[in-house]
Chain A
């Protein structure tokens, strides 16, 4: 299945966060690789978006937006480091 860049998560994440999470460094809880969220591989599934580690293919972020809520699963990400003013 074809994937897109983590860059395309920017809009969906900016609905939740006030900073641009796509420029954050994310550490993969599976393999320990650290890279920018914008460089993850994003797969669109019917109900949501799944960002996978380009190193080990582990799921870093899973985001499902329902009409009245969002589900954000980050258990595959051990930390996020983002630029802050």
Chain B
């Protein structure tokens, strides 16, 4: 690991919500001000903790959405049914509110820009968030490492960052984006609504011979299905990194 430097122990620190952006009906991006923030590696996450007046507290892990080069830390949170942390953040939090933060953490699900192998990113729903940090990191570095993203969402309206992805496909050379819509498709869309399958992975991914670095993030069932398909297509399991957020990720 490139970042094996000895660090300090981490503890919780205060973060203030500087800005909130609506991404979709159920997802918001929080721009956080954190004193002494020393940056992160694309793909890492932070733990956020909320404490009620009666002392009850709840914490969850959220992927960092911003690029390491960005001045400010951004996380995108999707509301999950009955999610006590995501529900508060998406429905009630306001700019100026404080949360507690621990991070950045996690050295496994990260993209190292010095690795020149082609990259396949596969996102299910809000699993796009850490992958977007990698795409933004690549853009900020003007990296020429070939990236392909396959993004599975219910429909076009549920896709987070859709406008930015469209712009980056135009401007960031060597980035391709394909969508797998599972419930509703735009008019004239060539592929019927349905799950991401082997055919789309073949068409929009990389041949296993190229030894791509694959990052798969989404709900548990999605991640396992995609990882199994990639291994069945000849990818080395050690080259397929996964991050599940599961239904308990709320």
Per the 8 Å Cβ criterion, residues 1-58 of B in contact with A are 1, 3-11, 45-47
A contact patch SS: mixed
The residue from A7, A8, A18, A39 contacting B9, defined by CB atoms under 8 A apart: A18
The residue from B3, B9, B45 contacting A17, defined by CB atoms under 8 A apart: B9
Given A11-B105, A38-B109, A83-B1, answer yes or no on A19-B245 (Cβ-Cβ < 8 Å): no
Question: Which A-chain residue is minimally distant from B109 (CB atoms)?
Answer: A7
Q: Do B105 and A18 have beta carbons less than 8 Å apart?
A: no
The residue from B6, B106, B243, B246 contacting A18, defined by CB atoms under 8 A apart: B6
Per the 8 Å Cβ criterion, residues 5-50 of A in contact with B are 5-8, 10-12, 14-20, 22-23, 36, 38-39, 44
**Chain B positions within 8 Å of A7 at CB level:** 45, 106, 108-109, 243
- A5→B186 CA distance, assembly (Å): 34
- A18→B3 CA distance, assembly (Å): 12
Q: What is the interface residue range for chain A against chain B?
A: 20 to 34
Chain B nearest CB, measured from A72 CB (Å): 14
Q: Do B102 and A11 have beta carbons less than 8 Å apart?
A: yes
**Chain B positions within 8 Å of A36 at CB level:** 108
Question: Which B-chain residue is minimally distant from A44 (CB atoms)?
Answer: B248
Q: Do B243 and A5 have beta carbons less than 8 Å apart?
A: yes
**Chain A positions within 8 Å of B168 at CB level:** none
The residue from B61, B102, B244 contacting A15, defined by CB atoms under 8 A apart: B102
Q: Do B6 and A19 have beta carbons less than 8 Å apart?
A: yes
Q: Do A20 and B105 have beta carbons less than 8 Å apart?
A: yes
Interface size on B, residues (CB 8 A): 30
Instruction: Name which of A2, A5, A23 has the most chain B CB atoms within 10 A of its CB.
Output: A5
- A20→B45 CA distance, assembly (Å): 13
Interface string of B106-142 (1 = CB under 8 A from A): 1111000000000000000000000000000000000
A3 at interface by CB-CB < 8 Å: yes
Q: Do B107 and A20 have beta carbons less than 8 Å apart?
A: yes
Q: Do B5 and A85 have beta carbons less than 8 Å apart?
A: yes
Q: Do B244 and A11 have beta carbons less than 8 Å apart?
A: no
A84 at interface by CB-CB < 8 Å: yes
B242 at interface by CB-CB < 8 Å: yes
Question: Which B-chain residue is minimally distant from A2 (CB atoms)?
Answer: B246
Q: Do B107 and A22 have beta carbons less than 8 Å apart?
A: yes
**Chain B positions within 8 Å of A56 at CB level:** none
Chain B nearest CB, measured from A2 CB (Å): 5
Assuming A11-B102, A20-B4, A22-B108, what are 17 further A-B pairs, CB within 8 angstroms? A2-B247, A4-B220, A4-B248, A5-B242, A7-B109, A7-B243, A8-B45, A10-B105, A11-B45, A14-B10, A14-B105, A20-B106, A20-B107, A22-B106, A84-B4, A84-B6, A85-B4
* A interface residues with partner B (beta carbon < 8 Å): 2-8, 10-12, 14-20, 22-23, 36, 38-39, 44, 83-85
Q: What are 9 of the A-B contact pairs (CB < 8 Å)?
A: A2-B246, A3-B244, A4-B249, A5-B243, A6-B108, A10-B107, A18-B9, A38-B108, A83-B1
In order of increasing CB-CB distance, the 4 nearest A-B pairs are: A38-B108, A10-B105, A11-B47, A83-B4
